[in-house]
Amino acid sequence: MQSGVLLRLEKEIRRHHRGRSQTASSTREGECPSPADRRRAAPGDRRHEGCASEKAVTPTEKRAVIQELITARVRPGRACLLVGLPKSSWHYRATPRQDSALRQRIRALALLHPRRGSRFIHALLVQEGQHINRKRVRRIWREEALTIKPKTSKKIRTGTSIPMHAESPNHVWTYDFIFDQTLNGTILKILTLTDEFTRQSLAVRVHASFTSADVKDVLNEVIAERGAPGFIRSDNGSEFIARDLGIWLAVQDIGTRFIQPGKPWQNGFAESFHARLREECLNQEVFYSARHAQVVLEGYRAFYNTSRPHSSLKYRTPDEFAQLARRQAEVPLCGQSTAEAAVIPPPG
């Protein structure tokens, strides 16, 4: 192997000297080189060579040749000069990466969140207090072959996306149903209620079936805790368009926004939450009863609001984003008088 490397090195040196001699002969003394000579390939440049030409010697092979020369009692500096390798490259020794603990933690997080990517895992590591570059996490993620192919949507989107966007917390809520089943095949109907602005999951309820009265009870419970929204968005399900529920919402001064039939993307925030719920919880758990499913889903809702970073919120959690939005709302606008600003009494 070393003899083959030496032969290749000898060919490189001969070709280098041949190129220099041809350049010197083509250029007369006192004359500037022609444009063709200027464009001539430099030693080691293989852009204008044929496919049958030899490849340049790699740094690894050059180090092997230098080692052979040193064994033959040639000084290292002289050997580097003959081979064409900088002395700094010869003396450089690569240090192994200390990534074992980080790799183990990334694999553990990937098992906990099998449908998430490297950016999501990086956000979780930052939450844990680790100061780490996102590109380093992505490199380890690829080396561990943890990349997941995204699922393509088969639904063709037409028309407008969302009729009205939320502008503040409690401005627009959205609710919808998602279905699952227990181990013995019992169908579970899950009602989800989400704040479109903060992405907070306000309620998750599991029953075998729902009526408009059940939906009203869930809304009444959340409104007593957080206050009433300005509007609520839903599809045209029988539980949501019921007359008694519409009258109750009108009494509570809550507007309704129904999406057009056959266009679920108009309720995109609910569909997005359902996709996360399906991938991260429903597909990972086995439910034995509706009560068991309620306990598991309530635990996921707490994780979703307090610990799960959200990419559309700049990898903040929904609760963190809601607190930030409330603090910004309390700051008086430019030009607003101090008399109109809300006065917050000091503690105690």
Q: How many domains does the chain have?
A: 3
* Residue 224: inside a domain: yes
Which pLDDT score is estimated for 346? 42
Clarify whether residues 221 and 108 are in a common domain.
no
CA separation for the pair 169, 110 (Å, rounded) = 32
* Residue 151: inside a domain: no
* DSSP assignment string, 308-321: --BGGGTSB-HHHH
* DSSP assignment string, 260-295: PTT-GGGGHHHHHHHHHHIIIIITT---SSHHHHHH
* Residue 69: inside a domain: yes
Three-state DSSP state, 178:
strand
Helix-, strand-, coil-residue percentages of the chain, each rounded to 5: 45, 10, 45
Clarify whether residues 217 and 292 are in a common domain.
yes
Which pLDDT score is estimated for 93? 83
* Residue 167: inside a domain: no
* Residue 36: inside a domain: no
Clarify whether residues 111 and 245 are in a common domain.
no
Q: Specify the CATH number for the domain of residue 321.
A: 3.30.420.10
CA separation for the pair 332, 110 (Å, rounded) = 43
Which pLDDT score is estimated for 155? 56
Which pLDDT score is estimated for 338? 45
**Residues with Cβ within 8 Å of residue 144, at least 6 apart in sequence:** 103, 106, 107, 110
The pTM (predicted TM-score) of the whole model is 0.63
Which pLDDT score is estimated for 167? 87
Clarify whether residues 88 and 107 are in a common domain.
no
Clarify whether residues 75 and 202 are in a common domain.
no
Clarify whether residues 290 and 319 are in a common domain.
yes
* Rounded mean pLDDT for each run of 10 residues along the chain, 348 residues in total: 57 56 50 52 48 61 88 88 89 82 90 86 90 89 82 57 76 94 93 94 94 93 92 91 92 90 87 92 92 95 93 90 86 54 42
**Residue span of the structural domain in which 318 resides:** 172-325
* Residue 342: inside a domain: no
Structure tokens at 264: 């679920």
* C-alpha dihedral sign at 216, 166, 318, 225: negative
Amino acid, res. 82: L
Clarify whether residues 68 and 124 are in a common domain.
no
